[in-house]
Structure 1
Amino acid sequence: MLSCRIPPSEVVAGQACCRLAECHRAPARPRRYPSDTTEAQWATIDPLLPDPAWLTGKGGRREVHCRRAIVDAIFYLVDNGIKWRALPPDFPPWSTVYNYFAAWEAAGITQQLLDELRDRARLRAGRHAAPSAGIIDSASVKAAETVSAHTRGFDAGKKINGRKRHIAVDTLGLMVCVLVTSANVQDRTAARHLLARLRWLCPTIQHLWADAGYTGTLLDWARHLFGITIDIVAKLAGQTTFVVLPRRWVVERTLAWINQHRRCVRDYERLPHHHEAMVRWAMIRLTSKRLIKPD
């Protein structure tokens, strides 16, 4: 049996480590940031993270840093919108945190974590774990200078030079999947790729609501290929100001939730799938917090 590399007296009292605490250096920093996981929040996330390769007999070195510290660092970056190299020194090295972030995303762990948390949140709300209906929408975001020219575009309608994120949510507003494209891609074009991803990740969804940007051949295409019916919720006749429209407000609220995280207000990621990961981590944070709220 392995033991922690620092004396227990140096560990902050009452602070839970991850389930691999006996194999690495235990965290010794106080929980000072609003983005830090609470004990209940971490108790929900920790069991959902995969076992490391060395523990399953696939080789590799033991993990040096606590996984809770890694997740706290990712939450800090997503919530505060800082650069990777600007992570505070009481977190693990930024390169270590980034390597975990990229490896978990490449292995699909980030999406699996989001799926598990969403299913639990739905069960707690008295719904079936697998949703049967949802809403889709998109939002364009400005791109920083770190975003390459071939992955960005100009949204003429919103007058935004950057990327566009397309999301699908359930009827509670919990995200199912996200797709990032250049901002000049039309909604009905990107929706074909989004629906293919949605069918793969959540095959139980059979009905969707969307705005008028998803009209045209997409409706017949989705019905014949995936068996998904799409209802268009159009603006009211003569509408010139903001009006809460049935069903559409749910996904618009989710887009607002995402924008509460500064790293998601603007796109800083060189790779589009890393911006997708940032959106997933924003929703992982929100969904895990939702699970620990008292009824």
Structure 2
Amino acid sequence: MLYAVGGQDLNSSVVSCDCLAHRFGNAADQPGRAPVYSTDLTDVEWREIRPLLPVPGWLEGRGGRPEGYCHRQMLDAVFYVLDNGIKWRAIPVDFPAWDRVYAFFRRRREAGLLLMMINVTAGNDTDRQAATDMLPALRDRFLTITGLWADGGYTGTLITGALATLYLAVTVIKRSDDVSGFVVLPRRWVVERTFGRLMRSRRLARDYERRPGTSEAMILWSMTILMTRRLAARAPV
């Protein structure tokens, strides 16, 4: 179930934000916050990302206490940590308490909002090994995907197996031996460009995380920042 709900009575007569924690939780009891950082969501960006957020369990009747902190402020805090590469405990005081922000992040660690899939593995895993584990899960989640582009590290039985069992056509983009110097290769530059954009999030510049799942979540959140800004730029005013 996604974030868009309606028809219920609001929990507070004074609602300064349209997030679910304000509308149906106890976030209205907390002080408001004015956007001051470059990572803070604009109103247009918030409108784009709000419907994609998962509905909290307490609102779906699965138990738990109604949330007491604004979801938009929580997103701003997570984006600040990711973009500036700081510790959770170093979150500025105008955000909610750091442990509440981390709890929000932890609950949504598995929710990739605007990215299909990411898989973080040990350094001694080869590209083919990682893809062998990843492609079946990708197929289960996205049935309409039929083609993939890859570099030379994904050759061998992976290509034939993906086509025979998963009905995925993997096209390997190879560099020509007749070309010297830097040459932009079709489709491969998309991956390199994405790596460059991810490195703008300073939390990803080094591997600070203890769990691979947390590293994957940081990548997902970084791409969420990028895609939210793109969607907002295209949205009608």
- For Structure 1 versus Structure 2, the TM-score category normalised by the shorter chain is 0.7 to 0.9
TM-aligned CA deviation for residue 40 of structure 1: 0.9
Task: State the TM-score, normalizing by the size of structure 2.
Answer: 0.87
1:280 aligns with 2:220: yes
* From 40, 47, 52, the counterpart of 1:43: 47
TM-aligned CA deviation for residue 88 of structure 1: 0.8
2:192 is matched with 252
Aligned 8 A contact 1:53 1:59 in 2? yes
Structure 2 matches for 1:1-295, cutoff 5 A? 1-3=10-12, 16-22=17-23, 23-26=25-28, 27-105=31-109, 108=110, 110-111=111-112, 113-114=113-114, 175-239=115-179, 241-294=181-234
CA distance in 2, matches of 1:46, 1:240: 48
Deviates more, 1:269-278 or 1:222-231: 222-231
What code does the residue aligned with 1:96 have? Answer: R
What code does the residue aligned with 2:231 have? Answer: L
What code does the residue aligned with 1:277 have? Answer: A
2:6 is matched with none
Residues 18 and 188 of structure 1: CA distance in aligned 2, closer, same or farther (over 3 Å): same
CA distance in 1, matches of 2:212, 2:96: 25
Aligned 8 A contact 1:19 1:46 in 2? no
TM-aligned CA deviation for residue 201 of structure 1: 2.1
- Deviations for 1:210-256, whole angstroms, at most 9, x for unmatched residues? 11111111111111110111111111215553211011111221121
CA distance in 2, matches of 1:243, 1:187: 23
TM-aligned CA deviation for residue 76 of structure 1: 0.8
TM-aligned CA deviation for residue 188 of structure 1: 1.2
Matched residue SS, 1:230: strand
CA distance in 2, matches of 1:240, 1:85: 49
Aligned 8 A contact 2:21 2:66 in 1? no
Give the share of equivalent positions with the same residue, in percent. 44
What code does the residue aligned with 2:19 have? Answer: C
What code does the residue aligned with 2:205 have? Answer: V
TM-aligned CA deviation for residue 24 of structure 1: 2.2
Task: State the TM-score, normalizing by the size of structure 1.
Answer: 0.70
- Unmatched 5+ residue regions in structure 1? 115-174
* RMSD, aligned α-carbons: 2.0
Aligned 8 A contact 2:21 2:69 in 1? no
CA distance in 2, matches of 1:232, 1:216: 10
- Deviations for 1:163-216, whole angstroms, at most 9, x for unmatched residues? xxxxxxxxxxxx421100112211111111121221122221111111111111
CA distance in 2, matches of 1:92, 1:259: 26
